[in-house]
Structure 1
Amino acid sequence: MSLPINKSDDFLFYKTLNEDVKLKSNKHSKYDIQMSNGDYVNVTGQESLKNAIIIAIMTRYNELNDIPIYDNFGCRVHELIKVRQTGMTRYKMELFITDVLENMRRIKEINNIEINDESHSYFVKYSVTSIDDELINDGVTL
């Protein structure tokens, strides 16, 4: 049995955005790897970039330091999770997330980052332009 060939437009025309394992969010904003028939579900193109952004933001800064290619990977936003919700806290979060997104090679430009307070959490809405000039609007709850 051979593996199926991916003939989607994302795979054929947006290869520079790479391929990734699909993440699925539950009602508590926790992400896990999506499985189907006992195997990973892969995503390409824009979905791959959305996953990469979520992974980068949700990974604590230097959490993966034991793996040499991930030196200085992750986001410092987790340092602010238990800090009182103020305008300054949101501003620092925006700076930390901007820093992470600027270091992603697949992102050409950060268009907008908006952080909204929710009870005991934050919702981060972002808009970026990928290196393929595709506009991506998405969000993540911290």
Structure 2
Amino acid sequence: MTLYVDRESEDFRFYKTLNEDVQLQPVSSKSKHWDIQMQDGDYVNVTGHDSLNNAICIAIMTRFNELDYIPLYEGFGCRIHELIKANKSEMVRYKIELFIIDVLKQMRRIKEVNWIEVEDNEKSKYYVRFSVKSINDTLIEGSVTI
């Protein structure tokens, strides 16, 4: 069984190079936990711009080399998890920014990273906003709480 794809949508027809994926969304607006979205007992599929935004969040939230047992994903992931127990500081914020820029530059679907903003969100969280240019010159902006 394959996921339903809206073949008439603009994202599917004009932005196939950005691929398609299963949709992930935060459990709540204040949560750093994400979950696969379901509709009528089946996964929700995303294409185009939404797929790229989804892939960026997956890359940021996956630990570096977590999937190294799969040859295709060797070296995949973000090193921000190394900073889990680090006390909040400007240096930690800067390292988070560098780690995310590094992971975004490795993604084939991204042409360039426009900017990254890392802000203190709460006592133990950071709020990351990003802007990238996709391989088809589309501006993609998004955010993730880590």
Q: 1:67 corresponds to which residue?
A: 70
Give the Cα–Cα distance (whole angstroms) in 2 for the partners of residues 105 and 4 of structure 1.
Answer: 23
Q: 2:11 corresponds to which residue?
A: 10
Corresponding residue to 2:139 among 115, 118, 135: 135
Give the Cα–Cα distance (whole angstroms) in 2 for the partners of residues 94 and 67 of structure 1.
Answer: 27
Corresponding residue to 2:111 among 108, 113, 117: 108
Identical pairs, percent: 59
The count of aligned residue pairs is 141
The answer as to 2:30 corresponding to 1:43 is no
The alignment's TM-score, normalised by the length of structure 1, stands at 0.95
The alignment's TM-score, normalised by the length of structure 2, stands at 0.92
The answer as to 2:129 corresponding to 1:125 is yes
SS in 1 for 2:118: strand
Opposite residue 36 of structure 2, the aligned amino acid is: I
Give the Cα–Cα distance (whole angstroms) in 1 for the partners of residues 41 and 7 of structure 2.
Answer: 19
**Could you list the runs of 4 or more consecutive aligned residues of structure 1 that deviate by over 6 angstroms after TM superposition?**
none
Deviations along 1:100-139, one digit per CA (max 9) or x if unpaired, are 0000000011000000012210001100011111111111
SS in 2 for 1:139: strand
1:110/1:10 Cα in 2 relative to 1: closer, same or farther (>3 Å)?
same
CA drift of 1:32 comes to 0.8
Q: Over aligned residue pairs, what C-alpha RMSD do you find?
A: 1.4
Opposite residue 54 of structure 1, the aligned amino acid is: C
The answer as to 2:76 corresponding to 1:77 is no
For structure 1, the 5+ residue unaligned runs are: none
Opposite residue 17 of structure 1, the aligned amino acid is: L
Q: 1:24 corresponds to which residue?
A: 25
For structure 2, the 5+ residue unaligned runs are: none
CA drift of 1:5 comes to 5.2
